[in-house]
A = this chain, B = another copy of it.
Amino acid sequence: MHEWLQQHRDEGILLLQDLVRIPSTQGNEREAQLLVAKRLHRMKLEVDLWEPDGKTLEAHPFFYSPRSGFEGSPNVVGLLRGTGGGRSIILNGHIDIVPEGDRKAWWHDPYSGKVEDGKLYGRGATDMKGGNTALLLAIQAIQELGIRLKGDVIFQSVVEEESGGAGTLATILRGYQADAALIPEPTNMRIFPKQQGSMWFRIEIKGRSAHGGTRYEGVSAIEKSMLVVQHIRELEDKRNARITDPLYATNPIPIPINLGVIQGGNWPSSVPDSVKLEGRMGVAPEESLVQAKEEMARWLERLQERDSWFKEHPPVLEWFGARWVPGSVDPGHELMRVVTEHYRAVRSEEPVIEASPWGTDGGLLTLLGETPCIIFGPGLTQLAHYPNEHIVLDHLFEAAEIIALTLIEWCGIDESEEEIADGAEAEAIQPGESH
Enumerate chain A interface residues (CB-CB to B < 8 A). 196, 198, 200-201, 211-217, 220, 222-223, 225-226, 229-230, 233, 251-253, 256, 258-272, 275, 277-280, 282, 321-322, 356-359, 382, 384-385
Q: Quick check: A212 and B279 within 8 Å, CB to CB? A: yes
* 17 cross-chain CB contacts under 8 A: A198-B213, A212-B258, A213-B256, A213-B282, A213-B358, A214-B357, A215-B256, A258-B269, A260-B265, A260-B266, A260-B271, A261-B264, A261-B265, A261-B272, A262-B264, A268-B279, A269-B322
Q: Is B280 a contact partner of A212 (Cβ separation < 8 A)?
A: yes
- Residues from chain B with Cβ under 8 Å of A275 in the complex: 262
- Report how many copies the assembly holds: 2
- How far does the alpha carbon of A229 sit from the alpha carbon of B224 in the complex, in Å? 11
Docked CA distance A263–B322 (Å): 22
Asked, given contacts A226-B230, A229-B222, A268-B321, whether A260 binds B212 with beta carbons under 8 Å apart, the answer is: yes
Cβ-defined contact, B213 with A269, below 8 A: no
Return A209 CB to nearest CB of chain B, in Å: 9
Q: Which residues of B contact A216 (CB under 8 A)?
A: 251-253, 256
Contact call A262/B222, Cβ cutoff below 8 A: yes
Interface of A is mostly: mixed
The answer on a CB contact under 8 Å between B280 and A258 is: no
A99 to chain B, nearest CB (A): 12
Shortest A199–chain B CB gap in Å is 9
| Interchain nearest-CB distance for A126 vs B (Å) | 13
Q: For A201, list chain B residues within 8 Å (CB).
A: 268
Cβ–Cβ contact A215 & B258, under 8 A: yes
Q: How far is the CB of A296 from chain B (nearest CB, A)?
A: 14
Q: Give CA–CA (A358, B271) in the complex, Å.
A: 14
Q: Is the CB of A270 within 8 A of B258?
A: yes
CB distance from A285 to the nearest CB of B (A): 13
- Chain B residue at minimum C-beta to C-beta distance from A211: B358
User: Which of these, B211, B212, B258, contacts A268 with CB under 8 Å?
Assistant: B258
Cβ-defined contact, A268 with B260, below 8 A: yes
- Given known contacts A279-B212, A280-B212, A258 and B229 CB-to-CB distance under 8 angstroms: no
Which residues on B sit within 8 Å (CB–CB) of A226? 226, 229-230
Given A198-B269, A220-B258, A260-B269, 18 more A-B residue pairs with CB atoms under 8 Å apart are A198-B212, A201-B268, A211-B385, A212-B258, A212-B279, A213-B356, A214-B256, A215-B253, A222-B229, A223-B229, A226-B229, A258-B268, A260-B267, A260-B271, A261-B264, A262-B264, A262-B265, A262-B272
Closest beta carbon of chain B to A87's beta carbon, Å: 31
